[in-house]
Amino acid sequence: MGALGRRASRNAAIVVGLAFAVSLFGSALFVVESLRAIHRRASREAPTLVVSRLEGGRPALLGPEEGDAIRELLGVRAVEPRVWGYVYLGALEGNVVVYGETRTADVPRDRVTVGPGVARLLGLRVGDRLAVSTPSHQAVYRVAEILPPSTALVSYDALLVDVREAHLLLAIPEGRATDLAVDVFPPEEVPVVAEEIGQRMPTARVLQRDDLARLYELTFDARGGVLGALLLPALAALLLLAWERLSGLSLEERREIGVLKAVGWATEDVLAVRMIEAGLIALFGTVIGLLLAYLHVYVFEAALLSRVMLGWSSLRTPLALAPATDVSTLAALVALVVVPFTAVSAFPAWRAASIDPDRALRGP
């Protein structure tokens, strides 16, 4: 401990560098893990299959006959035509997603449920009127509900209207649908039903829920990986700094090692002490780095990373994330940053430990 204190400025520089590197990698890992957790949760209630139709390689509307054909299949529990699409809101200079809901008869069709982003940017409150204008339809809706901010990552840019209104706003003829949400039970039947639909409807595109989940996993991994790769130069710079700082022995350090060896310390003892010093530095740097990453991602909503990871948008969803990091993620971080640092520290430690005590005490 005393030795650490005697080289306070050198060690502080390494701790700062290490904390910086850990916080950068940690932020990327925290964001990716939290997004992954949200999508996993959202997938639980998603339809087992989504069936759309292609015409000339482009998505086309489906009619009731396609839904009826799918309903006949064994294992299909429900088929729900989805009516959804994009509407450009001039006030936001961006697109919002309009979803059609099949409501009970006692809910007036001029009611709209608004996503938290649309509500925030337009300053909407429950009871306000919202005018929505598309080339096919113009309507004024009464805001019946604003979805909670805790759902922003699935609803930030959403407008939920009565399905009849969705048909009008999106210019989708009555009886037709954007795609079909199909629920299948038991889960083992999903691939069989998907294949059966593909055979019966050659122009159909059948997406399985697991495929969508896998796509998101891959996307998160890719984003996190690219970000990690971009941060590698920072890690390399840190290791170079550590090497440079740890390999230069001051006169005082040489004398210290000389005295220790003169009073009977073996090379292994000195090596062990030097490695413990490096370990303590790594521990301090890692903990500070993880705390900084936590603050950055969960308190400041990943302000520095979100644009790099997600780009710019007029309806950018704030990354109000919940921690979802497990021990294996932290272990990966330690393996990525702390292990190379400790490895870089080993050689200077061995060189210092194997110094000849006579030469060390006499000086250069």
Partner 1 sequence: MIVRRIRVLAVASLLLGAAVIAAVLDARTRTLDAEAIDRVVLRTRSSELALSTTSRWLRHPAEAEPGAACQDQPPCLDVDPGGLAIAPPRARFDRSVSVELRVEGSP
Nearer to partner 1, 313 or 354 (CB): 313
Q: Which residues contact 44 (CB under 8 A, 6 or more apart)?
A: none
DSSP one-letter code for 187: G
DSSP 245-281: HHH---HHHHHHHHHHHHTT--HHHHHHHHHHHHHHH
Helix (H) or strand (E) holding 100: strand 94-101
Torsion sign (Cα): 292, 294, 299, 300: positive
**Cβ 125 to partner 1 shortest distance, Å:** 9
For partner 1, the binding residues in 45-84 under the rule CB under 8 A are 45-47, 50, 52, 54, 57-59, 80, 82, 84
Interactions with partner 1, residue window 85-124 (CB under 8 A): 86, 90-95, 97, 99, 101, 113, 115, 117, 121-124
Q: Is 8 in the site for partner 1 (CB under 8 A)?
A: yes
Asked if 259 is part of the footprint of partner 1 (rule: CB under 8 A), the reply reads no
Which residues within the stretch 12-51 sit at the binding site for partner 1 (CB under 8 A)? 35, 37-39, 41-47, 50
Q: State how far the Cα of 251 lies from the Cα of 318, in Å rounded to an integer.
A: 53
CA distances (Å), 89 to each of 132, 153, 295, in order?
Answer: 7, 20, 34
In order of 95, 313, 314, the CA distances from 117 in angstroms are 12, 12, 10
Range 175-194, binding partner 1 (CB under 8 A) = 179, 181
| CB-nearer residue toward partner 1: 105 or 364 | 105
Q: Are strands 111-114 and 179-184 parallel, antiparallel or unpaired?
A: unpaired
In the list 73, 212, 260, 355, the residue contacting partner 1 (rule: CB under 8 A) is 212
If the CB atoms of residues 91 and 237 are measured against partner 1, the closer one turns out to be 91
Applying CB under 8 A, which of residues 324, 334, 355, 361 lies at the interface with partner 1?
324
Residue among 69, 63, 48, 85 nearest 177 (CA): 63
x/- track of binding to partner 1 for residues 192-211 (CB under 8 A): -------------x-x-x-x
* Contact pattern from residue 143 through residue 172 relative to partner 1, giving x for each residue in contact according to CB under 8 A and a dash for the rest: ----xx-xxxxxxxxx-x------------
Beta bridge partners of 76: 184
Tell me if 6 contacts partner 1 by CB under 8 A.
yes
Instruction: Using the rule CB under 8 A, give the single segment among 192-200, 254-262, 264-272, 321-329 that binds partner 1.
Output: 321-329
